Amino acid sequence: MRKQWYRLDNAALIFPAIIRKNWNNVCRVSATLKENVDPDLLNQAIADLAPRFPTFFVRLRAGFFWYYLQRTEKPVQARPDYAYPLTHMSRKELKTCCVRILWFEKRIAVECFHSVTDGTGGMAFLQNLVARYLELKYGGEIPHEGNILDYREEPKPEEQRDCFLLCGAEGSVGRAEATAYRLEGEPEPDGFRHIITGIVPTDTLLEKAHEQKVTVTAYLAAVMGEAICARQAQQGRTGRKARPVKITIPVNLRKTFGLDTLRNFTLAVNIGYDPRLGTYTHEQVCRLMYHQLAAETIPQRMAGRVSTNVDLQRNLLLRLVPLFLKRIAMRLVYALSGERKGCLNISNMGTISLPEAMAGQVDRFDFVIGVQYSYPNNCSVASWQGKTCINMIRSIRDAELERLFFSRLVELGIPVEIESNRR
Amino acid sequence: MYCIQCGVKLQEGAESCPLCGTPVVDVRAEKQPTVQSWSDLYPAQKRHGQLLVISLITTVLMAASLGCLIFCLRTARNASWSGYVMLGCALLWVCFIFPLFFRKWKPMIFLPVDFACLAGFLLYICAKTGGSWFLSFAFPVTVLVGLITIAVVALFRYLRQGRLPLLAGLLILIGLSFMLVEFFQHITFGTPMFVWSLYCVCGFCAMGAFLLVASLIPSWRNALRRIFFF
């Protein structure tokens, strides 16, 4: 029987080409339940969901012109969350399955290669997995509302489509941007990823953001910008030596264009300010971040930026170039421009909602994006039941940026509870 | 518990603040049992299908060798050209199938064996064709290429630090080795000395010099690492 395969969506094309020996682009979503996880039931839940979520149980294959995803014969088995989050997913592992499902005590985690889906898609899959697991454990049926789908239904074509191809504009928006300050530090030699989680009350965070008349994402970006600016100053980069501070914000285009998919549909925008132009007050930084984010994320501009990417994918001459040449070109373009335009990512998942029937069983949701090759730090945010988990991941030893960021939040009157996976 | 430096709330039982490292003294804290390591949870598994691949390819190579030998014996009454095919198949087997018997590819063992077999194959061709080029050309060039290959593999496989200056040195050596090849060509076949090899020397030495300079400047070094994915 011919194995089912899927084209990579527009955003996913770059990720297989830029895999390095010790790095690739992986993200993780996890849910902590009220009771310990039963691995047998979890495996049963995975097997039940496999036909409904075919684009998740895939392996990465290389064709002559493009990479593609091929459906696996059997669904992946859950395995213990053995070491540290986002352990390197090797090429060999990607050829077996691009998704890991892990469990540890009360926690169920899904780690997926970015070519499969983005954080929102991963979270939708995790919620369905938890829902099916809870159904198997406690019986009954969880209503199919919000992200929860009926696992007995056939997968819908719109869930598997490449939405980037549907929302382009007639014109395109250029990519030229100023190069940002690069965070640096001594890398962990064994590739260990440190994660420091700051848990803050969502209502206090919202209140502080609304005091400045900005969104939570813009507020966190402003605080992070201040922390990065302070870090630059610590390294002696002040005055003319300073570099622009820019934060990369992945924007969920599902809301912008009203399209839904379980594959990638996110586009990153860079917002920030230049410390060489003078000193900024907290209010000014908040307003700068908010207005830049608002201006960058209007649908017309996003559509123009999508067009820039999609036009390249549709170019007949480029399509006829063999994969090994495309790979070299993509690597060069990514190395020269992809990771030089921002200091770090702040990916805000927003407030997660679940059907009432299962909300009481879930204690916490976490969302962690892996570090970029050149950015040693990244930050991801998810809110659940009045608590916002700000996960800061780093591949370097020094936790100075985290200290500056979280202590700035405390200074601003937001209580922070800290957890870490320190060894 | 709160960190007295950062003002953040810490986990129960934390020994120090994860942000600033300020120690927290908590006499009630008990040590948690450590989590099992990856190798404890997932012991190495046997590889399936390896034997099948080895047997299949060995059978194909043997069939090709024996087929040629029988054909030669039936048509020319001697082994004639079938010797080349048989030794070629043996060389392929040593290079590509022999390493499959081992769990890990060990270049320091396999590569010398491969080049020794290649030298043996060339010796057979030289003897069979009545040539006198083996000792003065084929053997030294095979040894030279073998040494360079082993050095390149060792550089990228075993070295984690200081690859760039070594690669630069290696490129210069490769450039110079072309002169050596042309020298062997001159003494064996009587061709003019140092004609084409000078271009190679210039090209490789320029690349080597560039990498040597880049290895001394941290920003260049990092840029090269980022661009060339090593």
Nearest by Cα to B95 from B152, B26, B146, B45: B146
DSSP state of A4: P
Residues B171 and B219 in one domain: yes
Which secondary-structure segment (H or E) carries A130?
A: helix A119-138
> DSSP labels for A237-278?
--GGG---EEEEEEEEHHHHHT---SS--EEEEEEEE-GGG-
For residues A34 and B173, give the distance between their C-alpha atoms in angstroms, rounded to a whole number: 64
Please indicate, yes or no, whether residues A182 and A138 belong to a single structural domain of this protein: no
Contact call for B11 and A331, based on CB within 8 A: no
- Which is more confidently placed, B32 or A145? A145
Nearest residue, CB atoms, A410 vs list B8, B35, B227: B8
Tell me, what's the pLDDT at A167?
Answer: 85
Structure tokens at B182: 């042309």
Q: B181 and B153: one domain? A: no
Contact flag B41-A82 (C-beta cutoff 8 Å): yes
Query: Identity (one letter) of the amino acid at B200?
Result: C
Q: What is the pLDDT of residue B78?
A: 74
Q: Which of A331, A332, A417 sits opposite B8 (nearest CB)?
A: A417
| Amino acid code (one letter) for B17 | C
B147/B133 same-domain check: yes
Furthest CA-CA distance within chain A: 65
Q: Give the separation between CA A330 and CA B227, rounded to whole angstroms.
A: 11
Residue B60 covered by a domain: no
> How far lies A2's CA from each of A9, A22, A60, A94, B169, in Å?
21, 33, 16, 20, 51
Q: Which residues of chain A does B8 touch, with a Cβ-Cβ cutoff of 8 Å? A: 198, 406-407, 410, 416-418
ipTM at complex level: 0.78
Please indicate whether residue A176 or residue A102 has the higher confidence score (pLDDT): A102
Mention every residue, 6+ apart, whose C-beta is less than 8 A from residue A48. A132, A136, A151
Pair A297, A400 in one domain: yes
A82 chain-B contacts, CB cut-off 8 A: 35-38, 41-42
Whether residue A145 is found in the same domain as residue A218: no
Convert the pLDDT of each residue in A258-298 to its tens digit: 888 999 999 999 999 999 999 999 999 999 999 999 999 99
> Chain B window 24-63: which residues touch A at a Cβ cutoff of 8 Å?
35-38, 41-42
Same domain, B172 and B154: no
Q: Is residue A209 part of a domain?
A: yes
Q: Which two tokens stand for residue A175?
A: 């990519």
Q: Is B218 on the interface with A (CB under 8 A)?
A: no
> Do B164 and B229 belong to one domain?
yes
What is the rounded average pLDDT for all residues in chain A?
A: 91
Nearest CA-CA distance, residue A67 and chain B, Å: 19
- Regarding whether A354 and A285 lie in a shared domain, the answer is yes
Residue B130 lies inside a defined structural domain of this protein: yes
Q: Are A356 and A318 members of one domain?
A: yes
What three-state secondary structure class fits B16?
strand
At A191, is the secondary structure helix, strand, or coil? coil
Domain identity same for A82 and A197: no
- Residue from B3, B8, B222 to probe the interface with A (highest A Cβ count within 10 Å): B8
A197 shares its domain with A114: no
Burial class (CB in 10 A: 0-12, 13-18, 19+), A333: middle
Q: Do A403 and B20 touch (CB under 8 A)?
A: yes
Give contacts of B35 with chain A, Cβ < 8 Å: 82-83
What's the half-sphere exposure (Cβ side, CA atoms, 13 Å) at A52? 16
Distance CA A381, CA B161 (A): 36
pLDDT of residue A273: 94
- How many domains does chain B fold into? 2
Do A418 and B35 make contact, defined as CB atoms within 8 angstroms? no
Helix, strand, coil shares, percent, chain B, to 5: 70, 0, 30
Domain boundary (A149, A165, A191) is at A149
Nearest residue in chain B measured CA to CA from A402 = B19
**Tally of structural domains, chain A:** 2
- CATH of residue A217's domain is 3.30.559.30
Residues A95 and A224 grouped into a single domain? no
Q: How would you classify the pairing of strands A99-104 and A266-273?
A: unpaired
A3 within 8 A of A353, measured Cβ to Cβ: no
Note whether residue A165 is domain-resident: no
> What pLDDT sits at residue A413?
94
- Supply the range of the domain harboring residue B134: 111-158
pLDDT at A191: 84
Do A245 and A381 belong to one domain? yes
Using the Cβ of B104 and the Cβ atoms of chain A, whether some distance falls under 8 Å is answered with no
Q: In this structure, are B176 and B151 located in the same domain?
A: no
CATH of the domain at A130: 3.30.559.10
Is A418 close to B19, i.e. CB distance below 8 A?
A: yes
Interface mutation target, options A373, A403, A405, chain B, most CBs of B under 10 Å = A403
Handedness of CA A212, A214, A219, A223 (dihedral sign): negative
Q: Note whether B206 and B175 are same-domain residues.
A: yes
- Residue A107 shares a structural domain with residue A180: no
Question: Which residue range forms the structural domain that includes residue A123?
Answer: 5-149
Q: Per the domain annotation, does A234 fall within a domain?
A: yes
At A325-369, the pLDDT tens digits run: 998 888 888 887 777 788 999 999 999 999 998 999 999 999 999
pLDDT at A27: 93
- A129 lies in the same domain as A55: yes
Same domain, yes or no: A304 and A342: yes
What residues form DSSP beta bridges with A272?
A246
Convert the pLDDT of each residue in A36-65 to its tens digit: 999 999 999 999 999 999 999 999 999 888
- Residue A136: how many other CB atoms lie within 10 Å: 15
**Minimum mean pLDDT among A205-214, A313-322, A396-405: which range?**
A313-322
Question: Could you read off the pLDDT tens digit of each residue along chain B, which spans 230 residues?
Answer: 888 888 888 888 788 888 888 888 765 555 555 555 555 655 555 566 778 888 889 999 999 989 988 888 888 777 678 888 999 999 999 988 888 888 777 888 889 999 999 999 999 999 888 888 888 899 999 999 999 999 888 887 777 777 888 889 999 999 999 999 999 999 888 888 888 899 999 999 999 999 999 988 888 887 787 777 66
Residues of A near B (Cβ–Cβ under 8 Å) read 18, 20, 79-80, 82-83, 196, 198, 331-332, 335-336, 339, 373-374, 399, 402-403, 406-407, 410-411, 415-420, 422
- What pLDDT, on a 0 to 100 scale, did the predictor assign at position B47? 60
Average pLDDT score over residue span A397-406? 93
Does residue A157 lie in a domain region? no
A159 belongs to a structural domain? no
The last residue of one of the domains, among B102, B123, B158, is B158
Q: Is residue A168 part of a domain?
A: no
A212, pLDDT greater than 60: yes
Q: Is residue A380 part of a domain?
A: yes
Which of chain A's residues have a Cβ under 8 Å away from the Cβ of B226? 335, 339, 373-374
CB contact under 8 Å between B37 and A82, yes or no, is yes
**Phi/psi of residue A352, nearest 5 degrees:** -90, 140
Determine the residue among B11, B226, B228 to mutate to test chain A binding: the one whose Cβ has the most chain A Cβ atoms within 10 Å. Answer: B226
The answer, yes or no, to whether residue A1 has pLDDT greater than 60, is no
**Does residue B230 share a domain with residue B211?**
yes
Is residue B192 domain-shared with residue B140, that is, in the same domain? no
pLDDT value of position A24 = 85
B132 and B182 both lie in a single domain: no
Closest-approach residue (CA) in chain A for B15: A422
| The predicted structure's pLDDT at residue B41 | 58
Task: Give me the total of CB pairs closer than 8 Å, taking one residue from chain A and one from chain B.
Answer: 70
Q: What percent of chain A has pLDDT over 70?
A: 99
Say yes or no: B150 and B183 in one domain.
Answer: no
Point out the domain boundary residue: A114, A149, A184.
Answer: A149
Fill in the DSSP letter of residue A206: H
Residues B177 and B209 in one domain: yes
Percentage helix, strand, coil for chain A under 3-state DSSP, each rounded to 5 = 35, 25, 40
Residue A77 lies in a domain: yes
